């Protein structure tokens, strides 16, 4: 099956343009109306000149639009732009981050295959692997993200997929992508990296040997909390052919409206990620000197155990800061409840700062034992630092802390 989303725009495949140029310019094929801004194509199907053309489009002999479950110019514009930004050959957009992960599993795995996954991944990803993939005979072993020996020990003859997020949520542990990519490839497996926290503005896992990048476009790619969306980036065969066919057939398509929002988000991604990182660094430093805080998790602090590795893989440290308040759950809830400005919500990657108590929300389904294994303590708070004035964010947090 041919993928009609192959790049045709004059600057894609990328000339040696810079990241910000690609983010702003890639993928818009101007129509005869000569519009400057990227249009939203709100149409479910496309019209053919003749029966012969329809047949050629369906057979794949002619590239072009057919039906918006798998061909829509706005969605393709987003896909081409994100592919260029990640340095990948192809991208497929999906209805959500979760459907991006599901498309990978449906497309690349079969009954009897095995996944090795970091234990520190998005909670719903764990549920997908444990509860649903297991129904179809795909088993998962969860390992410690930063312990290469535990990855090695988990490998089986039927292992096909390694899955991780780096930095992890909410404890900001950093994986050595190159090391794990090599291990995966030596064991007949693909490495999938969920690049949600850094985005390509700060980290390009493909350059370290990862095979597939997953995104929840819901987070920083859109960046303003407006949509739910996802994407997978990788090479032409895996993504442009195999996963394109999965999404075409199973239907978790990104809507053109959501694609347009994410597309416009990409234009300011670099600027926003720099600003999120700058603000998060100020907050992390403030918190690390606060007497009522036990520990701060932020890859930008030199006290972070993997600060050096983060510096090698990332161009900056991102917007997520987690910290443990002395006094456990009661004190942590008090800090959260005393905020007026911050949003008490589990989302992240928004210009609005959000605050979360992982142990009773995002990680509330974990058993006491699993919480201990993953380090989700009762005093832990996660802040996704937004772009409001940093002084206001600090004042809001210090009310409950002081
Ligand atoms: C939110 C999130 C997802 C899931 O994305 P949805 O768009 O909510 O489906 C996957 N991975 C990470 C790291 C996330 O933060």
pLDDT (tens digit per residue) in 337-360: 999 999 999 899 999 999 999 999
The whole-angstrom separation of Cα 12 and Cα 114 is 36
In degrees and rounded to multiples of 5, residue 119 shows phi and psi of -70, -25
pLDDT at res. 4: 39
- Give the chain's largest Cα–Cα span: 74
Q: Rounded to the nearest whole angstrom, what is the distance from the C-alpha of residue 349 to the centroid of ligand 1?
A: 10
pLDDT at res. 8: 44
Average pLDDT of the residues of the chain? 94
Same fold yes or no, 8-267 and 270-401: no
Average pLDDT over residues 302-323: 97
pLDDT at res. 12: 53
Q: Which CATH class is domain 8-267?
A: alpha beta
As a three-state string, the secondary structure of the chain is: CCCCCCCCCCCCCCCCCCHHHHHHHCCCCCCCCCCCCCCCCCCCECCCCCHHHHHHHHHCCCCCCCECCCCCHHHHHHHHHHHHHHCCCEEEEECCHHHHHHHHHHHHCCCCCEEEEECCCCHHHHHHHHHHHHHHCCEEEEECCCCHHHHHHHCCCCEEEEEEECCCCCCCCCCCHHHHHHHHHHCCCEEEEECCCCHHHHCCHHHHCCCEEEEECCCCCCCCCCCCCEEEEECHHHHHHHHHHHHHHHCCCCCHHHHHHHHHHHHCHHHHHHHHHHHHHHHHHHHHCCCCEEEEECCCCCCCCCHHHHHHHCCCCCCEEEEEECCHHHHHHHHHHCCCCCEECCCCCCCCCEEECHHHCCCCCCCHHHHHHHCCCCCEEEEECCCCCHHHHHHHHHHHHC
Please say if the pLDDT value at position 7 is more than 80.
no
Please say if the pLDDT value at position 42 is more than 50.
yes
Any idea where the domains of the chain sit in the sequence?
8-267, 270-401
Q: How many CB atoms lie within 10 A of CB 241?
A: 15
> Is the shortest distance between the CB of 96 and ligand 1 below 6 Å?
yes
Please say if the pLDDT value at position 255 is more than 80.
yes
Q: Rounded to the nearest whole angstrom, what is the distance from the C-alpha of residue 400 to the centroid of ligand 1?
A: 29
> Is the shortest distance between the CB of 97 and ligand 1 below 6 Å?
yes
Q: Rounded to the nearest whole angstrom, what is the distance from the C-alpha of residue 55 to the centroid of ligand 1?
A: 38
Please say if the pLDDT value at position 14 is more than 60.
no
Residue with the smallest CA separation from ligand 1 atom 11 is 122
Average pLDDT over residues 20-33: 94
Which fold would CATH assign to domain 270-401? Answer: 3.90.1150
> Is the shortest distance between the CB of 230 and ligand 1 below 6 Å?
yes
The whole-angstrom separation of Cα 322 and Cα 287 is 10
The whole-angstrom separation of Cα 11 and Cα 169 is 35
pLDDT at res. 382: 97
Tokens describing residue 119: 């234990």
> Is the shortest distance between the CB of 98 and ligand 1 below 6 Å?
yes
pLDDT-based confidence at residue 15 (cuts at 50, 70, 90): low
State the closest ligand 1 atom to the C-alpha of 229, by its place in the atom list counted from 1: 7
> Is the shortest distance between the CB of 165 and ligand 1 below 6 Å?
yes
pLDDT at res. 364: 85
Q: How many CB atoms lie within 10 A of CB 275?
A: 17
Average pLDDT over residues 377-402: 97
Q: Rounded to the nearest whole angstrom, what is the distance from the C-alpha of residue 384 to the centroid of ligand 1?
A: 14
pLDDT (tens digit per residue) in 195-254: 999 999 999 999 999 999 999 999 999 999 999 999 999 999 999 999 999 999 999 999
State what percent of residues in the chain have pLDDT above 70: 96
pLDDT (tens digit per residue) in 128-178: 999 999 999 999 999 999 999 999 999 999 999 999 999 999 999 999 999
pLDDT (tens digit per residue) in 74-109: 999 999 999 999 999 999 999 999 999 999 999 999
Please say if the pLDDT value at position 6 is more than 50.
no
Tokens describing residue 277: 């990182």
pLDDT at res. 372: 83
Best residue among 195, 218, 225, 349 to mutate for probing ligand 1's pocket (most ligand atoms within 8 Å of CB) is 218
Q: Rounded to the nearest whole angstrom, what is the distance from the C-alpha of residue 216 to the centroid of ligand 1?
A: 5
State the closest ligand 1 atom to the C-alpha of 196, by its place in the atom list counted from 1: 13
State the closest ligand 1 atom to the C-alpha of 165, by its place in the atom list counted from 1: 13
pLDDT-based confidence at residue 1 (cuts at 50, 70, 90): very low
Q: Rounded to the nearest whole angstrom, what is the distance from the C-alpha of residue 52 to the centroid of ligand 1?
A: 42
pLDDT-based confidence at residue 370 (cuts at 50, 70, 90): confident
């Amino acid at each position: 099956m041919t993928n009609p989303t192959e790049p045709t725009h004059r600057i894609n495949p990328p000339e040696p343009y810079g990241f910000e140029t690609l983010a702003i310019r890639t993928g818009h094929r101007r129509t005869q109306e000569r519009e400057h801004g990227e249009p939203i194509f709100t149409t479910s199907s496309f019209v053919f000149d003749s029966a012969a053309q329809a047949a050629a489009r369906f057979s794949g002999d002619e590239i072009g639009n057919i039906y918006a479950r798998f061909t829509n110019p706005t969605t393709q514009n987003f896909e081409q732009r994100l592919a260029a930004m990640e340095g990948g050959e192809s991208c497929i957009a999906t209805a959500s981050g979760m459907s991006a992960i599901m498309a990978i599993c449906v497309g690349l795995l079969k009954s009897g295959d095995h996944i090795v996954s970091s234990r520190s991944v998005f909670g719903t990803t764990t549920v997908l692997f444990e509860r649903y993939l297991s129904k179809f005979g795909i088993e998962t072993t969860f390992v410690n993200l930063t312990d290469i020996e535990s990855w090695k020990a988990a490998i089986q003859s039927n292992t096909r997929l390694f899955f991780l997020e780096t930095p992890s949520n909410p404890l900001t542990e950093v994986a050595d992508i190159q090391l794990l990519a090599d291990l995966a490839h030596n064991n007949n497996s693909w490495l999938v990296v969920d690049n949600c926290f850094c985005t390509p503005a700060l980290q390009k896992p493909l350059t370290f040997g990862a095979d597939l990048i997953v995104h929840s476009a819901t987070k920083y790619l859109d960046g303003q909390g407006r949509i739910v969306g996802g994407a997978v980036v990788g090479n032409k065969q895996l993504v442009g052919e195999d996963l394109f066919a999965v999404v075409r057939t199973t239907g978790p398509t990104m809507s053109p409206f959501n694609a347009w929002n994410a597309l416009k988000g990409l234009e300011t991604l670099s600027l926003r990620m720099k600003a999120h990182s700058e603000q998060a660094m100020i907050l992390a430093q403030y918190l690390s000197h606060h007497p009522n805080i036990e520990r701060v998790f932020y890859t930008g602090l030199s006290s972070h155990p993997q600060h050096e590795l983060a510096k090698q893989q990332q161009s900056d440290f991102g917007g997520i800061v987690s910290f443990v308040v002395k006094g456990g759950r009661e004190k942590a809830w008090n800090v959260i409840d005393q905020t007026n400005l911050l949003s008490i919500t589990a989302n992240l990657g928004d210009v609005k700062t959000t605050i979360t108590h992982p142990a009773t929300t995002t990680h509330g389904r974990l058993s006491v034992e699993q919480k201990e294994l993953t380090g989700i303590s009762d005093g832990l708070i996660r802040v996704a630092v937004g772009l409001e004035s940093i002084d206001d964010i600090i004042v809001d947090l210090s009310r409950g802390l002081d």
